[in-house]
Structure 1
Amino acid sequence: VNKLLSPKVLANAVRYQAQGDAPISTFNGDENLLIKGNNLIALSGLKLRFGGQIKLIYIDPPYNTGDDSFSYNDRFSRSTWLTFMKNRIDEAKKLLAKDGVIAIQISFHEGAYLQVMLDSLEGIHHVLSMHVLVRHPDRTLTSDKKFNDVMEMVLIYSRNPDFKMPKRVTDKTSDDYIYEIRTTGDGEEQNLGGTNVLVYRPGEWEMVKVAPNAKALKSHSIRGSLREKNSSGRFYVANIEPVAKTYEPLTLFKVPGIGDDGLGFRWFHTPKEGNKNGTYFQGMPQSSKTTEKPYANFQDFVQIYNRVNSEGGVEFRNGKKPEGLLEFLIDIFTAPGERVLDYHFGSGTTGAVAHKMNRKWIGIEQLDYIESTTIERLKNVIGGDSTGISSKCGWTGGGSFIYCELAEHNESLVSDVLEASESEQLLAVVGKLVQRGELRPEVLSDSLVKHRDEFLSLDLDDQKRVVGELINKNRLYVAYADREDETYGVSKHDKAFSESFYGERG
């Protein structure tokens, strides 16, 4: 296992920027990075360079629905799928900053099982399970399903056990401040709970509705959490409510020394006839120009999902996540200049959004569409892509990213196994393994000959599984430690880039 997860040579490094692309042999550590290769192995190498530096890890893994529509294995057994997820999260969590989070988007098929598994891991702690509406309930994709599946979830975990979910910060407005209190006379002075207050009977005051403005008042019904978690609510419950029945409905109280709205007092009135809740009025708070509210654990993203096909300038049927969803998560958990990682990179939505939002990003993808889809989308971003969140964040293009690959050795044979359509192709792979000495160490070539007929009696899927297990997985990619071994033919260019990337850490 140590050798399997050891750092690997990084090959074919290219920098993409608006002026074009060009091979490079150095990595300065501050650039966006796209890696082609097995994500488990790439993650293990990344921790040498980026351990403890990633603020947000977002992943959109195979949902294990039984529908292999994403060109990768989406038909694992549950135990295999959970092991697949665990191994990668164990490596990924080592990359998280102290206050970093990992957000995993998943469906109901494995969501509950995944959460139980994640809760058992050391080093990450559950923060929130956010439910996401991705399709309108009346929109049916296929009529043969047992029910219309329109919900997904995002499981959010933090490295810090004391992590607090950020609040939604909005600028305060005067929209809700639409009342004035007008009184006649001086009011009757009374003492409530040790405080001298003025009391105005019905007919001695009126509430007037005015155009929204910063000098007007906002009305609050004193109920629910306001009765316990708000200073005005607590004063009412402790001092006015116990004596409210001794006053007429809608009796007004002017209480000094409450609030941060600059008035120096707060208005309260007893319930109107037939109601049980009193009311207080406040002016616009002066202590802050913003308001903090908690995020809901349900988010409706139906509209942005409806527009996803037009985003990025590339096709990625059924697998592309909308830019607005990633913007929502990146905005909550990161600040400009911080780094985001996605190791199921797909069409590159995470990188595209992070780029437009002035975050650094790292993406890992193994499949060949990385060249025709992912890179093309990111080149579009650099060139000034106008889709997705571009208008909202004023994106006009710029920046760069580096593309590189884990240097392959046996990985090409794994691809040959997956793509084989007949037994003879699989036997050819076995022949290469024997010729190159790339069988697992405990497998003897003589035993393969002995069991040839038994092998041919299996169906093709089982034959692929058997041949896949014969491959020495420790030699899928060229180890960084073997970069000087002429057997692997590592070029001077690839050697220089790898040494720049790992340095003494490798």
Structure 2
Amino acid sequence: NKPADTFAYNSNFKLSSWLVFMKNRLEVAKDLMAEKGIIYITISSEGAHYLKVLADSVFDMDNFIADITWQSRKSVSSDSLISTSTNHVLVYAKNKNAINKNEFRLFLDVDGFNLNDDDGRGPYKVEPFDAPNIRKNLEYIIENPNTGQGYRPPEGRHWRTTEEDYKELLADNRIRFGARGLTKPQLKVYLKDAQDQSKGKAATTLWNNVVPDSVDSIIWDGTGTTTNGTKHQQSLFGRVVFENPKPEDLVSRAIQLATDEGDLVLDFFMGSATTQAVAMKMNRQFIGVEQMDYIETVSVPRLKKVIEGEQGGISKAMDWQGGGSFVYAELQNLNMEYIELIQQAGNDDDLLKIIDQMKQTAYLNFQTDIEKITNEDSEFTKLPISDKKALLIEVLDINQLYLNYSEIDDIKFNVSEAVKKFNHSFYKKVGEEL
């Protein structure tokens, strides 16, 4: 329930209306998700806890994965008692039991595998051979073969394997003591083995940033801030066209965890097309849905720039060189056209013209009599223009906002043969050549 919209979207809902709005969409999202599907919902603190309870009821509490804290800004504001610098990212599965945790991993940091013994096994990195806690069967003396000196685990810790397994690792040249006889044994982790076992490391519930805001940053372990997203946007359009856009690094991390190449990503609040741009650069299929007009001035033009090979966001990390394609389609308006006219009306005269058109061609709610409601003697004439607009929209049949596919051949809608062919292909109508 914000006092004003911070970007060109309908965010000014009362709480109860907003919860119903979200419930309807989350239920549809759940139906569309694959059995191993994941949904991410980014939201500020004002609504996060209401949404968590709602999402628990839609997806079931057992399918809740995490409430991630994303550092969405670095600057400190003095306008409030405590400066807000984070957003919530609620993460749910359709069926958490269907997800293999070894697949739900971030990309490997290939640059970290920077050691090589030239033994044919390829690059590797080292990890400590000790682990937290104390287990008696994992406490034994390890002798450094370079110095002959024996070592026990550090206080409060034990070795990672039994002594028998350690000896096998040592004989297989998978233990490293380091140059100049470093005291602690280290375990060699080869890049090939890590790639075979999983994508990489597990994510945590804190997604923050480790480098200064920069549109030209190379591979890094941060998720970016809205400042990163804004700078990227400025590089694309020469100006700010969408307030507080999400950075590509944030979306990239979400897609890394939940999908493989070729998987399908759906974003039904498309906005400035960040999700679709990232999906394209990461070789995923995507669907974007948007109801606001900026889809034609921001979303679609951005994806065209991605195809052309723009180098912002994650392009360098993904070695993006351009290419790919997408299809852009719009729903054909019926009553939605009248809603748009009503919303744009500036005075009573404009509304009177729209009412005349509605009487001729609009699909009206059968429970209302527009003649009776809008005649010269009715209370309608005394209402402020905002109430008149609301009442006229209620008169329209909401089930006829757009033209149904079943009516595509009705000659009164004058649908072109090219549009018919595209729709038959899209819906895979039996008997049509696809």
1:155 to 2:90 alignment:
yes
- Cα deviation 1:183-227 (Å, max 9, x = unaligned): xxxxxxxxxxxxxxxxxxxxxxxxxxxxxx97998463x54xx44
Q: Give the match's secondary structure for 1:321.
A: coil
The equivalences for 1:275-314 within 5 A come to: 281-284=185-188, 288-289=193-194, 292-301=200-209, 303=213, 304-305=224-225, 306-312=227-233, 313-314=236-237
Q: Which residue of 2 aligns with 1:479?
A: 404
Q: Which residue of 1 aligns with 2:293?
A: 368
1:501 to 2:409 alignment:
no
1:170 to 2:108 alignment:
yes
**1:425: Cα distance to partner?**
2.7
**1:144: Cα distance to partner?**
3.9
Name the aligned partner's letter for residue 193 of structure 2: S
- Whether the 8 Å CA contact 1:258–1:264 is kept in 2: the answer is no
> Residues 264, 362 of structure 1: CA spacing in aligned structure 2 closer, same or farther, 3 A cutoff?
same
Once residues 83 and 215 of structure 1 are traced to their aligned partners in structure 2, the CA distance between those partners, rounded to angstroms, is 51
Name the aligned partner's letter for residue 472 of structure 1: D
Once residues 395 and 260 of structure 1 are traced to their aligned partners in structure 2, the CA distance between those partners, rounded to angstroms, is 45
- Whether the 8 Å CA contact 2:249–2:313 is kept in 1: the answer is yes
Q: Which has the higher contact order (CA 8 A, sep 6+)?
A: 1
Moved more, 301-310 or 390-399: 301-310
- Whether the 8 Å CA contact 2:370–2:395 is kept in 1: the answer is no
**1:285: Cα distance to partner?**
5.3
Q: Which among 263, 271, 285 is matched to residue 170 of structure 2?
A: 263
Number of paired residues?
Answer: 376
Instruction: Select the structure of larger CA radius of gyration.
Output: 1
Higher strand share: 1
Q: Which residue of 2 aligns with 1:36?
A: none
Q: Which among 28, 31, 43 is matched to residue 91 of structure 1?
A: 28
- Whether the 8 Å CA contact 2:364–2:396 is kept in 1: the answer is yes
- Cα deviation 1:310-336 (Å, max 9, x = unaligned): 325133231421111111111111111
Once residues 127 and 416 of structure 2 are traced to their aligned partners in structure 1, the CA distance between those partners, rounded to angstroms, is 73
> Residues 263, 251 of structure 1: CA spacing in aligned structure 2 closer, same or farther, 3 A cutoff?
closer
Once residues 404 and 81 of structure 2 are traced to their aligned partners in structure 1, the CA distance between those partners, rounded to angstroms, is 48
> Residues 261, 157 of structure 1: CA spacing in aligned structure 2 closer, same or farther, 3 A cutoff?
farther
TM-score, normalised with respect to structure 1: 0.66
- Whether the 8 Å CA contact 1:131–1:151 is kept in 2: the answer is yes
**1:67: Cα distance to partner?**
2.3
1:76 to 2:16 alignment:
no
> Residues 436, 132 of structure 1: CA spacing in aligned structure 2 closer, same or farther, 3 A cutoff?
same
Higher helix share: 2
Once residues 395 and 291 of structure 2 are traced to their aligned partners in structure 1, the CA distance between those partners, rounded to angstroms, is 21
**1:169: Cα distance to partner?**
5.5
Once residues 246 and 90 of structure 2 are traced to their aligned partners in structure 1, the CA distance between those partners, rounded to angstroms, is 16
- Cα deviation 1:351-409 (Å, max 9, x = unaligned): 11111111111111111111111111111111111111111111111111111111111
Name the aligned partner's letter for residue 309 of structure 1: T
**1:295: Cα distance to partner?**
1.2
Structure 1 residues without counterparts, runs of 5 or longer: 1-63, 177-212, 228-232, 241-249, 268-278
1:134 to 2:78 alignment:
no
- Whether the 8 Å CA contact 1:257–1:264 is kept in 2: the answer is no
**1:342: Cα distance to partner?**
0.9
**1:422: Cα distance to partner?**
2.6
1:443 to 2:368 alignment:
yes
> Residues 79, 259 of structure 1: CA spacing in aligned structure 2 closer, same or farther, 3 A cutoff?
farther
**1:433: Cα distance to partner?**
1.9
Once residues 60 and 152 of structure 2 are traced to their aligned partners in structure 1, the CA distance between those partners, rounded to angstroms, is 55
Name the aligned partner's letter for residue 387 of structure 1: G
- Cα deviation 1:416-449 (Å, max 9, x = unaligned): 2222333333343333222225221111133213
Q: Give the match's secondary structure for 1:90.
A: helix
Once residues 106 and 137 of structure 2 are traced to their aligned partners in structure 1, the CA distance between those partners, rounded to angstroms, is 28
Once residues 117 and 259 of structure 1 are traced to their aligned partners in structure 2, the CA distance between those partners, rounded to angstroms, is 50
> Residues 122, 263 of structure 1: CA spacing in aligned structure 2 closer, same or farther, 3 A cutoff?
closer
TM-score, normalised with respect to structure 2: 0.76
**1:164: Cα distance to partner?**
5.1
- Cα deviation 1:245-266 (Å, max 9, x = unaligned): xxxxx97599731338612699
- Whether the 8 Å CA contact 1:259–1:282 is kept in 2: the answer is no
Q: Give the match's secondary structure for 1:403.
A: coil
- Whether the 8 Å CA contact 1:423–1:456 is kept in 2: the answer is no
Once residues 129 and 201 of structure 2 are traced to their aligned partners in structure 1, the CA distance between those partners, rounded to angstroms, is 18
Once residues 342 and 125 of structure 2 are traced to their aligned partners in structure 1, the CA distance between those partners, rounded to angstroms, is 73
- Cα deviation 1:132-182 (Å, max 9, x = unaligned): 01111x432xx5445422110111111113135523453686789xxxxxx
